[in-house]
Amino acid sequence: MSESTNGGRERAYQALRESEELHRLTLGSISDAVFVTDDDGLFTFICPNVDVIFGYVPDEVEAMTRISRLLGENLFDHAELRAREEIRNIERDITSKSGERRSLLIHLKAVSIQRGTVLYVCHDVTERKHAEEELREARLALAHASRLAMVGELMASIAHEINQPLTSIIANASAGLRRLGSDVRADEMTEFREILVDIRDQGRLASSVIERLRALAGKRPLERQVLDLNDVVRDILRLVGGDMQRRRVMLRTELMPSLPPVAADRVGLQQVVLNLLMNAMDAMHEVQVEERLLTVRTSRLEEAIELAVSDTGGGIPADRLSRLFDAFFTTKRDGLGLGLAIARSIIEAHGGRLWAEDHGRGGATFRLTLPPLATG
């Protein structure tokens, strides 16, 4: 054998050794854990840095013999992997050697490496999951703060709205007590019945106002249920009725009957509608009293349910229209600039859209769409 042949073979062996060393160093330095198993889940390869995620050294993992001891049973279907050759982003929670719970994204690939047939790449997403949960909590807190701010704005008119039925209750109860102090004829029982019915109805009215306030002021996660958008709109219109009278705003409602239901969070949707109504009334603050008209419409589009809230205010300048839903952008002197940003995030979380249109001749319309509830 020639010297050149021996030299070529030696160079090939050296290149192979260097390649293997490079692969070993690479696998040892990455944060992902890599394994190879046969069809029965028996280890044929264990990455040297398995302890980074799992806390076990390679020898401890090898003693487990099967990957199910690390990742649990029923991780994937072998027939599906053979057909697809690759399965990405399987989510699985595991317990490390120290007892800590960790969240993984697992990528599988069908291979043929010595005795191995399945390659596993495990990526630790625990910190990302924690960050997502903290972000979700922050969004809930912001939405709650926004609702509290709007409820605070309404308190003056709401106090008046509650005071009226309470005054009526007190007056009727006093009248009933006075009548009980005298002889009551049979023909006067009708009057007593009317007094008691009025007490009951006025008490229910005051209770419903308080209950709507309590729901809006409460802090809670989104809970979807089957809703009629018209009912949500009517609830909020009752809540802001006193404020409309105080601001001398005329209301026109055009609620399409028999709207298909939507799957939505009631309080979240109420918050959005309340925000749009309050903004519309604010927009007409500088308008002559006789021109203050608030129009609320619901309608069925081809593939959505729409709510439109229109005002006759000063409109939206073009340079503000594109920024209207940006967080912390506001045209109000004491505004935080969060109301519309939160409203849009709530609607988008329901698979819908929220946008604004300037009338050009004064006034604006805010529109939101929601997907109708799928039926059978």
Output the pLDDT for position 342: 75
Q: Cα–Cα distance between 170 and 305 in angstroms, integer?
A: 43
- The single-letter DSSP state of residue 73 is S
Predicted TM-score (pTM) of the model is 0.49
Q: Cα–Cα distance between 27 and 120 in angstroms, integer?
A: 13
CA distances from 44 to 140, 176, 249, 307, 324 (A): 47, 89, 76, 60, 58
Output the pLDDT for position 18: 47
Contact 118, 110 (CB under 8 A): yes
Taking only the tens place, the pLDDT of each residue in 208-231 is 656 655 655 555 566 788 999 999
Other CB atoms closer than 10 Å to residue 320's CB: what's the count?
14
- Provide the total of helices (H) and of strands (E) in the chain, helices listed first: 11, 12
**97 phi and psi, to 5 degrees?**
-60, -35
Output the pLDDT for position 81: 92
Output the pLDDT for position 24: 53
Mean pLDDT of the chain: 78
Reference 269, options 228, 211, 240; nearest CA is 228
Higher pLDDT, 104 or 139: 104
For residue 156, give both structure tokens: 């003056």
| Domain 31-124 falls under CATH 3.90.1410.10 | no
Same topology, domains 31-124 and 132-370? Answer is no
For residue 229, give both structure tokens: 């958008």
Q: Cα–Cα distance between 215 and 271 in angstroms, integer?
A: 10
Would you say residue 184 has pLDDT above 50? yes
Query: What is the mean pLDDT of the segment spanning 331-352?
Result: 72
Query: What is the mean pLDDT of the segment spanning 316-325?
Result: 76
Q: Cα–Cα distance between 371 and 264 in angstroms, integer?
A: 10
Taking only the tens place, the pLDDT of each residue in 287-310 is 898 999 999 999 999 889 999 999
Q: Which residues fall within 8 angstroms of residue 13, CB to CB, at 6 or more apart?
A: none
Q: Which residue has the tokens 């055009």?
A: 254
Higher pLDDT, 331 or 255: 255
Q: Which residue has the tokens 């604004």?
A: 356
Higher pLDDT, 60 or 150: 60
Query: CB-based burial of residue 234 (10 Å sphere; 0-12 exposed, 13-18 middle, 19+ buried)?
Result: middle
Taking only the tens place, the pLDDT of each residue in 64-93 is 999 999 999 999 998 999 899 999 989 999
Q: How confident is the model at residue 48 (pLDDT cuts 50, 70, 90)?
A: confident
Domain residue ranges in the chain: 31-124, 132-370
The dotted CATH code for 132-370 is 3.30.565.10
Alpha helices per DSSP H over 118-188: 126-180
